[in-house]
Amino acid sequence: LTVQVNKPGAAVNKNMYGLFFEDINFAADGGLYPELVKNKSFETAPALLGWKALQGGANLDAYAVRAEQGVSAANKQYVRLTTRAGAPGEAGIENEGFRGMGIKAGGEYTLSFYARRGPGSIGGLTAVIMGEKGQALATAPVTGFTDQWQRYSVVLKATGTLNKAFLKLVLNGAGTVDLDVVSLFPKDTWQGRPNGLRTDLVQLLKDMKPGFLRFPGGCIVEGRTLSERYQWKETIGDVASRQPLINRWNMEFKHRSTPDYYQSFGLGFYEYFQLSEDIGAEPLPILNVGMACQFNSGELAPMGTASAKGGPNAEGAGAPGAATSDPSLDVFIQDALDLVEFANGPASSPWGAKRVAMGHPAPFNLKMIGIGNEQWGPQYLERYEPFAKALKAKYPNIEIVSSAGPSPDGELFDKASKRLGELNAEYVDEHYYAKADWFRQNVGRYDNYARKGPKIFAGEYAAQSVSTGSPDNKNTWDCAISEAAFMTGLERNADVVGMASYAPLFANVDAWQWTPDMIWFDNLNSYGSPSYYVQKMYALNKGTQVLPVTMPGGAKNGTDNLFASAVADDKAGDVVVKLVNYSSSPRAVSINLAGAKKLGKTGRAQVMASADLQTQNSLQEPKKLAPQESSFAVRGSTVSYTLAPNSFTVLRVAGK
Three-class DSSP category at 378: helix
Of 252, 271, 374, 483, the active-site residue reads: 374
311 vs 405 by CB, closer to ligand AHR:
405
C-alpha distances in Å from residue 631, one per residue of 387, 570, 581, 652: 52, 21, 19, 9
Alpha helices in 524-609 (DSSP H): 530-540
Q: Which residues contact 364 (CB under 8 A, 6 or more apart)?
A: 273, 276, 277, 283, 343, 344, 355
Three-class DSSP category at 565: strand
176 close to 62: Cβ distance less than 8 angstroms: yes
Give me the least distance between CB of 516 and ligand AHR, in Å please: 10
Q: In what order do the strands lie in the sheet with 574-581?
A: 545-547, 562-569, 574-581, 647-654, 602-609, 628-633
Q: Dihedrals φ, ψ of 609, to 5°?
A: -150, 140
- The span from the CA of 587 to the CA of 565, in Å, is 17
Interface contacts to ligand AHR, rule CB under 6 A: 22, 24, 217-219, 373-374, 431, 460, 503-504, 514
Q: Dihedrals φ, ψ of 448, to 5°?
A: -115, 20
- Taking only Cα atoms into account, the Rg of the chain, rounded to an integer number of angstroms, comes to 27
338 vs 460 by CB, closer to ligand AHR:
460
Give me the least distance between CB of 227 and ligand AHR, in Å please: 18
218 vs 268 by CB, closer to ligand AHR:
218
75 close to 241: Cβ distance less than 8 angstroms: yes
- The span from the CA of 433 to the CA of 463, in Å, is 6
Alpha helices in 366-476 (DSSP H): 377-394, 410-422, 436-441
185 close to 257: Cβ distance less than 8 angstroms: no
Q: Dihedrals φ, ψ of 415, to 5°?
A: -60, -50
Active site residue 374: yes
The enclosing H or E element of 575 equals strand 574-581
549 close to 565: Cβ distance less than 8 angstroms: yes
Q: In this structure, how many other beta carbons lie within 10 angstroms of the beta carbon of residue 28?
A: 28
Q: How does DSSP assign 131-189, residue by residue?
A: -TTS-EEEEEEEE---SS-EEEEEEEE-SS-EEEEEEEEEEESSEEEEEEEEEEEES--
How, if at all, do strands 262-263 and 108-120 pair? unpaired
Give me the least distance between CB of 108 and ligand AHR, in Å please: 35
- The span from the CA of 548 to the CA of 37, in Å, is 54
Alpha helices in 345-371 (DSSP H): 350-357
Q: Which residues contact 198 (CB under 8 A, 6 or more apart)?
A: 31, 32, 33, 34, 189, 190
279 close to 271: Cβ distance less than 8 angstroms: no
Dihedral, CA of residue 304, residue 305, residue 311 and residue 315, to nearest 10: 140
Q: Which residues contact 630 (CB under 8 A, 6 or more apart)?
A: 604, 605, 607
Q: In this structure, how many other beta carbons lie within 10 angstroms of the beta carbon of residue 436?
A: 23
E strand segments, 216-344: 245-246, 262-263, 282-287
Give me the least distance between CB of 230 and ligand AHR, in Å please: 11
CA-wise closest residue to 457 among 497, 398, 399, 492? 497
CA-wise closest residue to 650 among 610, 609, 607? 607
24 vs 169 by CB, closer to ligand AHR:
24
333 vs 503 by CB, closer to ligand AHR:
503
Give me the least distance between CB of 106 and ligand AHR, in Å please: 37
- The span from the CA of 219 to the CA of 54, in Å, is 38
Q: Dihedrals φ, ψ of 342, to 5°?
A: -60, -45
619 close to 629: Cβ distance less than 8 angstroms: no
333 vs 507 by CB, closer to ligand AHR:
507
Catalytic positions, written as ranges? 374
